[in-house]
Amino acid sequence: MKACEQSNPNSVDGHLFILSKQVKICLLPLGFAAGTMRHWFDFGNKIICTILDLLKDSLKTLLDAVDDGNLDRYCIRITEYSKNIVLSGCPQVTTAFLYISVLPNDLSVSLKRRIVSSYTQVDHQTFVLYEELEKATKTLSFKNVHMVDISKCPNVHFGAAIDWLKLGFPELRVFRVSHCLSFQFDDLLYLLMRCPWIDEIDMTIDTSTVTPRHSVISSSSEVLSKAKPNQKRYGIHCSAYDRQPNSVFLNISRLTLEGRNDIDDMDLLEISVLKNSLCYINIRNCFLLTDDGISNLLMKCTKIHSMVLSYTSFGNRSIQMLCAANPSGHNSGHAHVMASYMQELHLDGCKGIDSVALSQLVSIISITKFLSLRETSLTDGALCKFVGSSLEYLDVSETVISMVSLAPVIQRNCKLNCLKTAGCCSLLLQCANVEHINGNKYGDFLQELGTTYCLEDVEMGWGFCPIRIEDLVPSFSKVRKMKIGLGTSLAENVLCALPMICPFLESLILRFQVISDRVVRRLLESATNLQVLCLHYCLGSLTSFSFQTKAPALRVLRLHWVTSWLTNDDLTILTENCNLAELSLSGCKLLDSSSQDIISSGWPNLALLHLEVCLTAVLIMTIE
């Protein structure tokens, strides 16, 4: 504070003094650096230029810093008190940055130059320095660090980064390396061997923006006859250590492989080395996996109680494995059914499951807390067999169930805080094959929801037709996320009252609703926590007046075929009223070539931009 007071306190330089002197600006996330330009252009531009210079030639920069004895400004700040190291979104970070941050200051200049030269290159393949470094830094470790996140760091060589983890973090429990295509399956195996004490690994790859949602229904591994070449970068073969009676892999309990299309059935078989510890696995959108491969994993890893299998080939064979008695499971001395221990199960879009197999599975999973059966063959007959009372999350969207089977589930599960029923067009229809609910053969949607007062996430369409605002208040007072779609039409007074009905509302998605300027302005002005607003194919008399109001909390705005009148002037007003990180526009044909400058200068920290049937869509727009 004294240093800050010595400068001119009313100047921008004075306000940024501490930030510029104490924070290592060259290591900031690029998106954050771009965002600072909105309020402090010169300072933000300085950060961006520094980061881009590092991206161009970090080797020369670091070598010059070694020679000048000024390497500290490039060292990630890690102390004996550090618990989490988050470098996500820092493309300028290379493996050299990781190593120089855990080395003692008394190393020779020549050794520092060797380290920087060896570990700066992305294609680094040798680890000859490791033993030397291990001896030199034997006393330099950070035992309090429990989580390291190097997601979205494309210039890190992960083999060397894994050795870095072993070198400096003997108590590490969580390692996140999501959105990194260069982190391959062999890197995972090497990580398991070098750092077996890690408990949770996240290797997610986001495919939502590039891959259309679809399901894989192949059930046999024969479809993988044209398998990928087996190129082992570390000479690792799981079968060698899988035969050991006392496997070292005792701690890996959570493994996330979502979106990884480089993993096939053989890789999944190698993962079964974690059979003594694996409890949670996420293989969502892993399209190369077959029902055979998944069932073989379940046969070996019998301690799994949480699975995210959405949009995979999970099918009848895997269900039979879950429902079969396993005499060796849980060391209880009694045969057990694996499905009966399921706490979390996501089967969205698994088209390889028939209604009979799904009915068998649903009848067993009685202690499940998170259950997602979206776009499956779920029927009333199957859902009526579910007797669990521990549900906190239920998604039955895009199925043919009705209130006859859903109402008893809602009644029994008083802790339910997420309910998704969008696309259930039979929700209020009579089903002759199922017994009627006492007193009401269909069940009243709002009446059943009235028994639950802790809903925080709702997604509804057919069957959700409230008449009075008062009907919504009890059950929706804690809602943070809401999606209303086809099959219902909320009245204007209800939409305007949403900020009062849901005072904590953070995300609102409206599809095929009738909206107006009054509705949108009311939402932006009164829903002070609203961060996400999405309007899809909505009707009504919406004009530019809708967005001429401040919405400082809004971060995500999606306007799909509702703002054909949008012009560059309207876009400029929008940049002045909200600070967006994501913008999606469809059908805005009045925009012209100046839109690019308006968007890039108005929202410098924009992370995602989607333009569909807009004039500017033909322009080349670079968003970091």
Q: Residue 237: inside a domain, yes or no? A: no
Q: Closest by alpha carbon to 338, among 300, 303, 308, 386?
A: 303
Q: In the 8-state DSSP scheme, what is residue 222?
A: G
| Whether residue 357 sits in one domain with residue 344 | yes
Q: Residue 499: inside a domain, yes or no? A: no
Q: State the Cα–Cα distance between residues 411 and 286, nearest whole angstrom.
A: 35
| Whether residue 320 sits in one domain with residue 356 | yes
| Whether residue 351 sits in one domain with residue 260 | yes
| Whether residue 259 sits in one domain with residue 158 | no
The CATH number of the domain where 309 resides is what? 3.80.10.10
Average pLDDT score, the chain: 83
| Whether residue 167 sits in one domain with residue 57 | no
| Whether residue 295 sits in one domain with residue 156 | no
pLDDT of residue 15: 63
| Whether residue 292 sits in one domain with residue 147 | no
| Whether residue 405 sits in one domain with residue 261 | yes
CB 524 within 8 A of CB 557: no
Tokens standing for 105? 């200051």
Q: Residue 617: inside a domain, yes or no? A: yes
How many domains does the chain fold into?
4
| Whether residue 141 sits in one domain with residue 276 | no
Domain membership of residue 284 as a residue range: 249-325+337-391+401-410
Scanning the structure block, which residue is given the tokens 């680094």?
124
Q: Which of 2-11, 99-108, 265-274, 384-393 has the lowest mean pLDDT?
A: 2-11
Task: Write the pLDDT tens digit of every residue in 578-623.
Answer: 999 999 999 999 998 889 889 988 898 888 899 988 865 444 444 4
Task: Write the pLDDT tens digit of every residue in 452-497.
Answer: 668 899 998 887 766 666 667 777 889 999 999 988 888 898 899 9
**Boundary-marking domain end, from 379, 410, 441:** 410
373 pLDDT more than 80? yes
Q: Residue 117: inside a domain, yes or no? A: yes
Q: Residue 182: inside a domain, yes or no? A: yes
| Whether residue 379 sits in one domain with residue 263 | yes
DSSP 3-state of 611 = strand
| Whether residue 175 sits in one domain with residue 85 | yes
Amino acid in the structure at residue 373: L
220 pLDDT more than 80? no
Q: Residue 521: inside a domain, yes or no? A: no
Task: Write the pLDDT tens digit of every residue in 27-83.
Answer: 888 878 887 877 788 888 888 899 999 988 888 999 999 988 888 889 898 988 999
Tokens standing for 378? 């779920």
Instruction: Strands of 324-363 (E only): list them.
Output: 325-326, 336-337, 344-346
Q: 387 falls in which pLDDT band (50, 70, 90)?
A: very high
Q: Residue 213: inside a domain, yes or no? A: no
Q: Residue 466: inside a domain, yes or no? A: no
Rg of the chain, C-alpha, whole Å? 28
Contacts of 494 (CB under 8 A, 6+ apart): 466, 469, 472, 501
| Whether residue 107 sits in one domain with residue 58 | no
Q: State the Cα–Cα distance between residues 218 and 220, nearest whole angstrom.
A: 6
